[in-house]
Amino acid sequence: MPNPRLALLETNYLWLDFHAKFLNYWQESIAESLPANYEARIGEQLTLVRSVGPPRRVGPDVSIVRSNLGEYVWDAESLSTTTVMLDHLEIKEELHETRIEILLRKDRRLVTVLELLSPSNKVEPGWSRYLDKRSTLLGQPVHLVELDLLESGHRLPQQQPLPVGEYYCFVSRVEQRRRCSVTAWQGTASIPTVPIPLLDPDNDISSPLQSVFETTFARGLYQL
């Protein structure tokens, strides 16, 4: 049967707060175990969901550059002004999605991304958005760790059937892609300790997820 504490978080308004707190304590736990040449940070991605057209990652569209070519002179009489309708202007929702990023200190290279799935990631339209983001990451030389502490919603797609379980952790290593290590457990079991891959020749670090969960649940006062 599902973990009663996880079921409590999943079925009401508490998940958003839990997600933020869990990532924070998870990041702190990982940072304490990392070799000195790495750092762990909370990263954020902003996606605009619009009424027309697909969602897109928001980034700078315009750069302002100083030129040494001199002043450009224009003739006001040659200008024409009219009013048009802008395409893709209406924004229905802003999505702020956070994750943990492990970086190499010397050049800020992204090494590993850690995701905690949310209910919105596991149903449409968020499910398709998450799969697009996931495909982009899997196409890059970046390790990916995905933690699914939700019983409901879609499961991450695999070519073979997943092991029996209610909760899952997926670890996709760059050097083993297209293979993925999957850890499954039942709701009555403790959340396992999972490996977090780094760059070769550095060894994995161990992440005690049950300890992170206990800290998050206690400090969030969710039992009240």
pLDDT of residue 97: 81
Tens of pLDDT along 51-107? 444 444 433 333 333 333 333 343 445 445 555 554 554 555 555 689 999 999 999
Number of domains, the chain: 1
Q: How far apart are CA 41 and CA 27, in angstroms?
A: 7
Tens of pLDDT along 196-214? 999 999 999 999 999 999 9
Please indicate, yes or no, whether the overall pTM of this predicted structure exceeds 0.85.
no
DSSP character string of 46-78:
EEEEESSS--EE----------SS-PPP--GGG
pLDDT of residue 76: 43
Tens of pLDDT along 110-147? 999 999 999 999 999 999 999 999 999 999 999 999 99
Q: How far apart are CA 149 and CA 100, in angstroms?
A: 16
Place of tokens 């040659």: 78
Range of the domain at 101: 4-220
Residues 6+ apart with CB under 8 A from 177: 138
Q: How far apart are CA 200 and CA 184, in angstroms?
A: 26
Are 209 and 169 within 8 A, CB to CB? yes
pLDDT of residue 11: 83
